[in-house]
Structure 1
Amino acid sequence: MSWLQPSGNKAEIGGAEDDLMRSLCTLLGVLTLLFMSPLTGAAHAQTGDPLDRAISALKGKFAEKSSVLFSRKTRQGFGSDATLTVVYGKHRFAANAGVRASDVAEVSTMGDEPVHFRMINIGRDTYTQGTWADVPKGKKWLHWQDADGFLWSQNLVDALNPKFLRLISRNAEKTSAKGRYDGVSTTRYDGLAEVGLLGSRQAGIYYGTKDGDWAGGRIKWKLWLGPDNLPRRFQAEIVHEPYGPEQRADTVRMNVLYRGWGTPVRIQAPSKNLVAEAG
């Protein structure tokens, strides 16, 4: 006799129905865990910032005290007043500091007058030499201590800066454009970020929140990531808003290539007998 057929015992029937309901609830709970959990995880992954993996990959390189080689071209201004700057360098990382040491050679040209500059940073110590520098006889370098204008920091417009990547990730869009840089295939992300403050120092262009009369601007960018989620190329058009009605916006165009991730680099201070203390 089927359990669905009445037996004449109401208590028995009620008990069977209770057992059935408990079994169904248990089964539904198991099915929910099996089928809904992966979907929930996938939905959560899709709502994360697009550049999360790049940020994690960078922090991993910092923790490894790894290194990278780079080249950068920037063009600022318009027409004959434009300045072209070409930079070649190498960075060494530290877990908490990001870029802890760097060796950078730079040539800036405005018109026909190239200006050469070299800068070595190790921790908070900076060594500079250039065609503009007034160095005592017999010396080739100037030493600066805690000179923030020369030091890499976490407010630079730089694809090696996790905080900057977090800023631009909010509006990042993955594109179908591909490219091959540093010997690997890349995926490109594009976006636009508006900031309340833009400025420039020797270490690079920096951004921040609105500060008094300082003008902000916008950063239109493209970022190419390798299969390891590390930056291989970064382009930006950075527009400084004018300070007043009689001024015009200033534009900087930047193109950076990164290569040789993990390549051992040697960055050391110049010989002491060639160094003079900066005034």
Structure 2
Amino acid sequence: MKASVRFPVTPTLLRRLAYASIIANVAIVVTGGAVRLTASGLGCPTWPRCTDESYHTTAEMGVHGVIEFSNRLLTFAVGIIALAVLLAVVARRPRPRGLLPLAVAVFLGIPAQAVIGGITVLTHLNPWVVGLHFLASMAVIAAAYALWRRTVEPDGPTTPTVPAPLRTLALLTTLVSAAVLVVGTWVTGSGPHAGDRGAARNGLDPQAISQVHADGVFLLIGLSVALLFAFRAVGAVRAARAAAVLVAVELGQGLIGFVQYFTHLPALLVAAHMLGSCLVLLATLAVLWATRERRAVSPPAATAPAAEPVTAGV
């Protein structure tokens, strides 16, 4: 009987697939924002079909239908990449520990995110559901990042690279970053870009909730700067470099946020701000990962066989 042929999954291939998954999930956040910013949220007025009679857009639905349907098609592309990552992880030998659950989480997160997107359509773009749709995408991006980092690490024990108080501070910064994302969805739900001219708003005062969001951003930047100096003080070069990138990304994102607020939320800047949200999340996770590292386990040293005792001849 012939042996079955197994497609070889190299570490490089797995890393590239995992990295592609991050890029694809960030891309669908940006294109989803384009749907909302062009008022195409109800371009396909129902779900899972585009209309009651068709799964695809029709000429009568115009450009809004094309934009919404194209974003739905992109979900399949993101799902295919996630499936390719999952299959590569299953086929990988030896398989790094913890990799399979992350691949499953990313793969299942795609249809879950699509279902939430469908609920946004069925609820006529309820702003709270729209916000949940965005946050679900952020959760998938976080899982995809964790998966990618696991593919570039050796399969060994985790050891801290900074003192425990700084690891706690990095975790607190991550939680504040997540809170800023959540409040950001409330700001969006109170603003003018509803995704459709007839969609409801969440009823929050735009100026007041924007101030709450800005206060969270100031806190986040302050914590990130504190991490940068603390990491430098203890000689944690890799962690300090990650914190410096985070501060730079936050400052750029903050600048976009202030400009878009004072220029009455032009669509192009709002789209850039959505991309910036993804980059802030990824940079925050990079800092968190830099506070620990995995070290390869060295194989046990081979011991020479004991010499047999020499006996005198008779």
The TM-score normalised by the length of structure 2 is 0.24
Higher relative contact order by CA 8 Å / sep ≥ 6: 1 or 2?
2
Higher strand share: 1
The TM-score normalised by the length of structure 1 is 0.26
